[in-house]
Amino acid sequence: MTSTVYGAIILGGGLAGAALAAALSPRVSLLILEREAHLGHHASGRSTGMFIPSYGGPIIAALAEASRPYFEAPPGEVAPLLTPRDVLHVSRRPSAAPSATALPVSPAAIHILSPMLKTQGLRSAWLETGTGELDAVGLHQSLIATAVRQGAGLRQGVRPQILGHDGAVWRLRIEDKELRCSALVNATGAWADETAATLGLSPLGLTAYRRTVVLVDPPEPRPQVLAGPIIKDLGDRFYFRPYGQNLLVSPCDETPSPPTDAQPETGDVALAVARLKQATGYQPQQIKHRWAGLRSFAPDRLPVIGWDFRAPDLFWFAGLGGYGVQTAPAAGRLAADLFLGTETPATSGISGHNPQQFSPMRLAERILRATKV
Ligand SMILES: Cc1cc2nc3c(=O)[nH]c(=O)nc-3n(C[C@H](O)[C@H](O)[C@H](O)COP(=O)(O)OP(=O)(O)OC[C@H]3O[C@@H](n4cnc5c(N)ncnc54)[C@H](O)[C@@H]3O)c2cc1C
């Protein structure tokens, strides 16, 4: 039996595992283990790739803005990952501006920006700029390629068995091979609490919520609709956006789900069509494509990043919720800094926020809250 020792083994090759590996691989020998045969089989391959920093509160906004330079100029010969597209936020209730720079939009201007939207009944509309669409698959590949170029190993389609910590290192088995590592990283997305349970640890209360997406033909006038903004309901009842030659529609469903290979439910697909019709009057003839994925949140809806004091050298990077694409580069750098114990806003490139908000103490607080020890 062969035996290899790594600085860290990262469980999970989604955007979380990939982003941490890209940031950590210059300093730590890494192996990423992904259970599925293909990277992006779960949440990271099912997102709608929107870059809306205001979506998720000030900490998410800081992480998204700190990720922007990576999206605009990714390393290597990779084309920019961010395509600018404005967001038209609408609401049937009087609503505050979603961001400090959002501009109020009159009903007449709504009609020009998005001729498909019914303006009757809308009480607020705001235009947010600096937003756009991300190439989520390209981002994932770029982060993985960066990690591998810097020496990280990657194994896909393996079912790691965690044998335990022997007082010096973690011991794992994949197939007939025993692996050893100084630190174990839990980047298993919707499975993060389940992964902790296999180590005998109580859950941190992460919940996976299913979200559904459908693609339909855009309504007329097609060229304007396809060139138009992302349309997002401030009450989180729907968003629509051009997606190639299609219109992407989500009813913003959040149905709690066990960690699983999420599939779209008929009722949620119908809800997407109903909300599109309610907002625009448009009834698509057919659903061209549909999918669903799990967005995993901690109770406070902020990422879970840090060392777990209940186990030796166990690090978490999970709970990226509905923001794991737009925050991945900076969240990965922040996680690497916390891993190395070198966290400062300067190294993470995140300005305007107290690093204590992201410090390991946060994870300790979470554990204490979740387990009531
Ligand atoms: C419908 C939808 C729309 C979204 N839209 C956006 C958006 O517009 N903008 C945005 O920023 N974010 C969006 N997101 C959120 C984003 O996709 C997620 O935050 C992000 O992909 C989470 O990445 P992750 O690596 O934590 O999880 P995952 O991608 O699920 O990766 C976790 C991986 O761990 C693996 N794994 C599990 N257990 C083990 C184990 N024991 N050993 C090895 N591997 C294991 C799994 O197979 C999985 O591949 C959306 C998500 C969904 C579902």
Boundary of a domain, candidates 247, 276, 296: 296
Boundary of a domain, candidates 276, 296, 316: 296
Residue 280's contacts (CB-CB under 8 Å, 6 or more residues apart) are: 116, 117, 118, 219, 240
Boundary of a domain, candidates 263, 296, 329: 296
> Where residue 3 falls among pLDDT bands split at 50, 70, 90?
low
Residue 267's contacts (CB-CB under 8 Å, 6 or more residues apart) are: none
Average pLDDT over residues 202-227: 96
The residue segments making up the domain with residue 222 are: 87-129+208-296
Task: Say which residue the tokens 């800081």 belong to.
Answer: 62
In this structure, is residue 76 part of a structural domain? Answer: no
Distance 44 CA to ligand 1 centre (A): 4
User: Given ligand 1 and candidates 63, 320, 326, 327, which is best to mutate, with the most ligand atoms within 8 Å of its CB?
Assistant: 320
255 and 165: one domain? no
Nearest protein CA to atom 20 of ligand 1, as residue: 324
The total of structural domains in the chain comes to 2
Q: What is the DSSP string of 78-96?
A: PPPSEEE--EEEEESS---
Nearest protein CA to atom 37 of ligand 1, as residue: 188
Beta carbons within 10 angstroms of residue 336's beta carbon = 25
pLDDT in tens, 132-179: 999 999 999 999 999 999 999 999 999 999 999 999 999 999 988 999
| Helix (H/G/I), strand (E/B), else coil: 147 | helix
pLDDT in tens, 39-57: 999 999 999 999 999 999 8
Q: What is the DSSP string of 206-269?
A: -EEEEEEEEEEPPPSSHHHHHHS-EEEETTSS-EEEEETTEEEEE----EEE-SS-----HHHH
311 and 168: one domain? yes
Alpha carbon distances (Å) from 199 to 62, 195, 260, 314: 33, 7, 20, 10
Q: Give the torsion sign (CA, 209, 215, 221, 225).
A: positive
Kindly tell me the burial class for residue 112, based on how many C-beta atoms sit within 10 Å of its own C-beta (0-12, 13-18, 19 or more): exposed
Alpha carbon distances (Å) from 134 to 71, 168, 221: 8, 42, 25
Distance 197 CA to ligand 1 centre (A): 19
In this structure, is residue 165 part of a structural domain? Answer: yes
221 and 125: one domain? yes
